[in-house]
Structure 1
């Protein structure tokens, strides 16, 4: 999506002085036993567990990501504190919940002066870099080098701000980010450990594949989720009043590429003349114009040769749509749109997997792979048709849960899995712990080092529940504000602000979260216990009056 503003002021990036003792510890010739590990965090945007074959092989094969699981540890139960892009990134940087780091929703500006784990690593002698999608509405601090996408970024010929200077990079965004990562590694100081945040735009909406992947899944029929045609009859207003249904809320032009080359290449004013049928509904007309304009902007970032290949790749889909749109039933339309959605989403994942492999191969080539803690994660999960939805935000399992893979053969046994309840606020203390850096007392996450070094065993006194709080309403997709607790078996959610509704799910008996048991007498004791545990978690998180924190009304198309 086209950004509507620049980032804020551009402070120059300065290198912090390296303490002599740390420099000596990490210098050339350091004994292997005392060497601090390098760190690479690989993060994607909206890559859900259902689309990694090491978690679930029904949709897409991800051999390079599977390598991380095969050679390291896979966390089966990692959860985010707030399932939306910017807030999740702020949680990862600070090791703190959203209400503590101040970035509760995407309309906020991240306070870069606050404590973050890259700053702490930098002060301990690490050279640091941030490359790719930042999405925090302020410039990175604590990095020797940074090159970030503006707002959401573009798939083709993306605009970066690199150490304060704008530059448009030709090519496909996932490839370009990897090129930049490898380029920085090539010029780094070889005598010091490094920590690099390697953050991809993909597979964020609108799922534009690389040229080499156009049409690769056109012949595949993807399995439908059991709840694709969910009618929300057993849940409250939050599930019924959202605006993220594949059938009703996907923009045909922007999301599904249902727009002719002639429209894409035309003046928007001319295209508007063709939309008389839409003008009867103002909201629908505005959505249509936004959909066309945004896709035109993205399309026009391609070269003429790329446009020609793109037009040819999507011509069959457009022809099929014209054939069925007036005759198919609503259920058939949902099923058809789901297939197109999956074809694009999984093709974009293909580019991510290839580039993860490229970076792993480079680290192996230079002899640093086994000296490096490699983490792969996403800013949250994503709905791939479950409940008929796309997008995220809800505390439901598909988006609260996020992938977490960790490879570090010096401490993490290959091919291990853990059921420990992990959170994205745990990444910061874990990395500080492995680096031998003191973990500040105000960090709210817990180090996963004990889990990683014990073949996934859950330590004594480990958490038995995870806390969640979502604030971005009213805003895109109309997901109501809510908070709650998830334990090994149960989930309790409170939707608030313009509603006051509670939901309770038994995940063992109802993994699809279809039957709200909150008012079921058979679950009265469970409900009471979950309320007590929720209060305990809120006290631990210092979120003791959650209904009173009001998120400002969000505006800005870049945060779709």
Structure 2
């Protein structure tokens, strides 16, 4: 009998969404940044924790749950966002890279939320060209958008915010909707998507003195020589040394010459003229400081949104989640950017606060992935979850009840090659300790090259064990698991 009651309830939710009782369904506030590394969030610890880079995000973690093993399926901006909306890996939602179009007509979680009585709102960066669907209100940046004087697109057209900083505009528009735009009789899904700290890391002018006299700690592998690893690691184009541009990335000379925001930097560089290792170290320091200044504004935004929820009496029945579209290299391996399956870009921050449901200060170490987000939102809303979605709801984990059959491995696949940064195509499997990566295709020796890492003993992934015969059995096991995941997720065989 209970089975028939469950089925009847599901039918009612699909056929008459207006009948769904909203009283016990939480509001959802999803705050999403672009390229925000877990290394630069204080709650995650590490070498940058002493800088206190994220007090408001840390507050969210202290009052909620920090996920220590949250990962993405394809570490690049637009594909990650397509997965967020669809609950599908890149090969099934059709957005495998930053270049091709996104099919907005396909199923997306916000359409289902909207049909089940939720107000749905998107403010900020989505990086998917075309008209948004399934949102009652949306105001988004065109493409990457601009840090200064940003332009936004809505149903009505375009608006340019002269003299303003993009993070401030996104925050203000989100707060304005909370205060003036919502229907108080309905639960809501508010998505606040920041541009920052995406390259080229342009901070708000008011933040330029922050970290000015601070020496940012360097990673141990800033001067990685890529020994033991394959052609992908040595053949990339994302090194701070060789590929970080003095003008476009570090705001020296060219269009920045004479800009008062960067005048002291220009003066120091002209007087000291660093070269060699000194230049690399200076570039690292300058990059990290600009990046951290950008993330400081994002953190301020988190604080303002939390305060607004409190002022509006919404905190107790609102789950607030913070994440990023992927991780980012903060000098590890000598790099900036993302793309690789190595931890710094594969892993992403994920923090959630849900009063009365999430134990404050809790930490989850289960393997979770961005394919899980769409199903989580639907589960929170008590809305039907399409069978074709490929993730799992995180709601049991948020409540501290990990299912016995929770996944024990993750699948990853990066496609955008040849392209900017020259990171070879690759796929891989990770079981929480062992990571097997398969590089394939153009400019890969013999069309295939493997890497194996033991993250328990080599957390920085410096020692590739793939050619060591002692690990042949481990590799065979992981290859079998990789094949199983490819079948589970319907990955095309041509790769």
| TM superposition score normalised by structure 2 | 0.93
Q: Does the residue aligned with 1:494 lie in a helix, a strand or coil? A: strand
Q: Does the residue aligned with 1:249 lie in a helix, a strand or coil? A: coil
Report the equivalent of 1:183. 176
Distance 2:494 2:314 in 1: 45
Q: Does the residue aligned with 2:42 lie in a helix, a strand or coil? A: coil
Q: Does 1:483 align with 2:427?
A: yes
Report the equivalent of 1:519. 467
Distance 1:380 1:217 in 2: 25
Decide which of 247, 268, 272 is 1:320's aligned counterpart. Answer: 268
Q: Does 1:385 align with 2:379?
A: no
Distance 2:141 2:30 in 1: 17
Instruction: Specify whether residues 20 and 515 from structure 1 end up closer, same or farther in structure 2 by C-alpha distance, changes over 3 A only.
Output: closer
Q: Deviations over 1:322-343 (max 9, x none)?
A: 2333xx4422211110000011
Q: Deviations over 1:74-128 (max 9, x none)?
A: 0000000000000000011011100010000011111001111100100001111
Q: Does the residue aligned with 1:196 lie in a helix, a strand or coil? A: strand
Report the equivalent of 1:272. none
Q: Does the residue aligned with 2:270 lie in a helix, a strand or coil? A: helix
Report the equivalent of 1:104. 96
Q: Does 1:449 align with 2:395?
A: yes
Q: Does the residue aligned with 2:242 lie in a helix, a strand or coil? A: helix
Q: Does 1:247 align with 2:236?
A: no
233-242 or 53-62, which deviates more: 53-62
Count residues with an aligned counterpart: 474
Q: Does the residue aligned with 1:363 lie in a helix, a strand or coil? A: helix
Q: Does 1:221 align with 2:210?
A: no
List 4+ stretches of structure 1 deviating above 3 A: 18-27
Distance 1:231 1:322 in 2: 30
Offset of residue 61 of structure 1? 2.2
Decide which of 31, 39, 52 is 2:28's aligned counterpart. Answer: 39
Q: Does the residue aligned with 2:292 lie in a helix, a strand or coil? A: helix
Asked if 1 retains the 8 angstrom alpha-carbon contact of 2:34 and 2:197, the reply is yes
Distance 2:423 2:272 in 1: 31
Q: Does 1:55 align with 2:55?
A: no
Q: Does 1:502 align with 2:491?
A: no
Report the equivalent of 2:251. 257
Distance 1:480 1:141 in 2: 33
Q: Does the residue aligned with 1:362 lie in a helix, a strand or coil? A: helix
311-320 or 499-508, which deviates more: 311-320
Distance 1:138 1:482 in 2: 28
Offset of residue 369 of structure 1? 1.6
Distance 2:336 2:464 in 1: 21
Distance 1:429 1:470 in 2: 23
Distance 2:470 2:277 in 1: 35
Q: Does 1:343 align with 2:289?
A: yes
Instruction: Specify whether residues 104 and 59 from structure 1 end up closer, same or farther in structure 2 by C-alpha distance, changes over 3 A only.
Output: farther
Q: Deviations over 1:437-474 (max 9, x none)?
A: 111100000111111112xx532111111100000111
Q: How does 1:62-141 map to 2 (within 5 A)?
A: 62-141=54-133
Distance 2:230 2:329 in 1: 19
Q: Deviations over 1:9-58 (max 9, x none)?
A: xxxxxxxxx9996445557xxxxxx4211111100000010010001214
Distance 1:333 1:508 in 2: 33
Distance 2:476 2:252 in 1: 50
Distance 1:150 1:418 in 2: 35
Report the equivalent of 2:482. 534
